């Protein structure tokens, strides 16, 4: 028995399969990473007075040179407590991983779906 599917039915079925794959495999990972980033940012907000740091950065660096802001933040990071340094490093790492996974998910979803002009290549 030879079963053939019309291209439109195949597109509908494959789109549903991809949506199910995305919600089962990718969405929980992105939700977990979002939760981790939110917790780290909350801890940072309790540990650092961001308004005061930004005001000091503007007052002490822009009066001399806008390039000095990099040096200011580097010295502020080195002068911070070790827990704050770990939270900052952890938040940067989590943000990078979150961005990487988000871009991978978007790329995988768009390249494998029929929404992309490159879908015929794959």
- Residue 47 in domain: yes
What's the pLDDT band for 120 if we cut at 50, 70, 90? very low
3-12, 23-32, 46-55, 109-118: which has the highest mean pLDDT?
A: 23-32
Max Cα separation, the chain?
Answer: 80
User: Model confidence over 52-63: pLDDT tens digits?
Assistant: 777 777 777 777
- Residue 3 in domain: no
Measured distance CA(108)–CA(100) in Å, rounded: 12
The mean pLDDT value for 89-102 works out to 83
- Residue 60 in domain: yes
Domain count, the chain: 1
Give the residue numbers spanning the domain of 88.
8-112
What's the pLDDT band for 3 if we cut at 50, 70, 90? low
- Residue 1 in domain: no
Q: Which helix (H) or strand (E) holds 79?
A: helix 68-79
- Residue 121 in domain: no
pLDDT for the residue numbered 84: 84
Higher pLDDT, 52 or 83: 83
The mean pLDDT value for 46-72 works out to 76
Q: Is the entire prediction scored with pTM above 0.75?
A: no
Closest CA to 80 of 45, 47, 39: 47
- Residue 105 in domain: yes
């Amino acid at each position: 028995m030879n079963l053939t599917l019309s291209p439109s039915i195949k597109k509908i079925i494959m789109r549903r399969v991809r949506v199910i794959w995305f919600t089962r495999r990718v969405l929980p990972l992105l939700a977990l990473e979002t939760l981790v980033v939110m917790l780290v940012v909350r801890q940072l907000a309790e540990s650092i007075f961001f308004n005061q740091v930004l005001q000091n950065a503007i007052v002490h660096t822009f009066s001399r040179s806008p390039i000095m802001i990099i040096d200011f933040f580097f010295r502020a990071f080195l002068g911070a407590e070790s827990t704050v340094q770990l939270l900052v490093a952890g938040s940067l790492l989590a943000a990078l991983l979150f961005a990487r996974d988000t871009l991978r998910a978007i790329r995988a979803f768009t390249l494998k779906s029929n929404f992309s002009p490159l879908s015929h290549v794959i």
